[in-house]
Amino acid sequence: MTISFRTGVMPLAVAALLSTPALAEGSKLDEVLARGHLVLGTGSTNAPWHFKSADDKLQGFDVDMGHIIAKALFGDPEKIEYVNQSSDARIPNITTDKVDITCQFMTVTGERAQQVAFTIPYYREGVGLMLKADGKYADYATLKAAGSPVTISVLQNVYAEAMVHAALPEATVDQYDSVDLIYQALESGRADAVATDQSSLAWYMTQNPGRYKDAGYGWNPQTYACAVKRGDQDWLNFVNTALHEAMTGVEFDFYAKSFKTWFGKDLTPPQIGFPVEFK
């Protein structure tokens, strides 16, 4: 039987076919499941995020995010192949498929979000102040009230002085060219407080219990998230689900234990009942 089309008229069945989106290519999720392990891009030199233990095992909070995702994938948190990468390789390794995902204390920015797809946040970083436990000043309020006699040690950076003065406008700022030196300045009394990332301070205090304290003030917030290749919503949704349930659901105990290990802080369990995300 011959079917003829009148000009400007298209049979409904043909129209439906032409309007149906082409089937998407296989998701990274299917690829990873078929392979049998996750390929995680991260670093190896920045405690408490990603660093080697005494027995050469990669560890840290970023690494634990990989464990969470691997467990969600395979029921086994150890099914991970690590790609040790520098900070400037974090995005290229995603876009070229060298890694499935990067978890490497990566700050979310609009510029980066044009190149990769960010997951939900797993940590919020900021600048903090650390004091000696038996030092002259009790907390942030007393530091600020003291004014110019206060000296703050900070890692050398073009923005260091402005960063400190955003919180302590009158303080004296001493810049050092290594992290070890900013802590030594506090220990020796040359500085009254250290200003650096709050995660670094939390880790340092965890490693030196009872000797130091948090001044109780943070500023310059930035979001840390993992990153995946753009255009694969199934993979992004899966990773988001794994991270979300680690922070709010069935895997909370693992996330909370990791947080305690690396930052020395106990997390309050998610409230039962109405989902906190929608309050």
pLDDT band at 213 (very low <50, low <70, confident <90, very high): very high
pLDDT band at 84 (very low <50, low <70, confident <90, very high): very high
Give me the mean pLDDT over the 210-229 stretch: 98
Q: What is the spatial distance between Cα 107 and Cα 105, in angstroms, rounded to a whole number?
A: 6
DSSP string, 135-176: SS--SHHHHHHH-TT-EEEEE--TTHHHHHHHH-TT-EEEEE
pLDDT band at 278 (very low <50, low <70, confident <90, very high): confident
Contact 133/213 with Cβ under 8 angstroms?
yes
**What pLDDT score does 276 carry?**
84
Residue 173 has pLDDT above 60, yes or no: yes
Give me the mean pLDDT over the 100-122 stretch: 98
| pLDDT tens readout for residues 41-73 | 999 999 999 999 999 999 999 999 999 999 999
Task: Please state, rounded to an integer, the average pLDDT across all residues of the chain.
Answer: 92
Contact 61/197 with Cβ under 8 angstroms?
no
Q: What is the spatial distance between Cα 136 and Cα 35, in angstroms, rounded to a whole number?
A: 57
**What pLDDT score does 279 carry?**
81
| pLDDT: which is higher, 5 or 199 | 199
**What pLDDT score does 86 carry?**
96
Run of H or E including 4: none
**What pLDDT score does 25 carry?**
66
DSSP string, 210-276: TTEEEEEEEEEEEEEEEEE-TT-HHHHHHHHHHHHHHHHSTTHHHHHHHHHHHH--PPPPPPSSS-G
Contact 69/26 with Cβ under 8 angstroms?
no
Give me the mean pLDDT over the 255-268 stretch: 97
Residue 38 has pLDDT above 80, yes or no: yes
Residue 22 has pLDDT above 80, yes or no: no
Residue 24 has pLDDT above 70, yes or no: no
Residue 190 has pLDDT above 80, yes or no: yes
Give me the mean pLDDT over the 217-227 stretch: 98
**What pLDDT score does 7 carry?**
39
**How far does CA 191 lie from the centroid of its chain?**
29
**What pLDDT score does 99 carry?**
98
- Percent of the chain whose pLDDT exceeds 90: 89
Q: Which amino acid is at 161?
A: E
| pLDDT tens readout for residues 2-21 | 333 333 444 434 344 344 33
**Which two structure tokens, joined as six digits, stand for 96?**
């070229």
Contact 106/116 with Cβ under 8 angstroms?
no
Give me the mean pLDDT over the 205-228 stretch: 97
**What pLDDT score does 221 carry?**
97
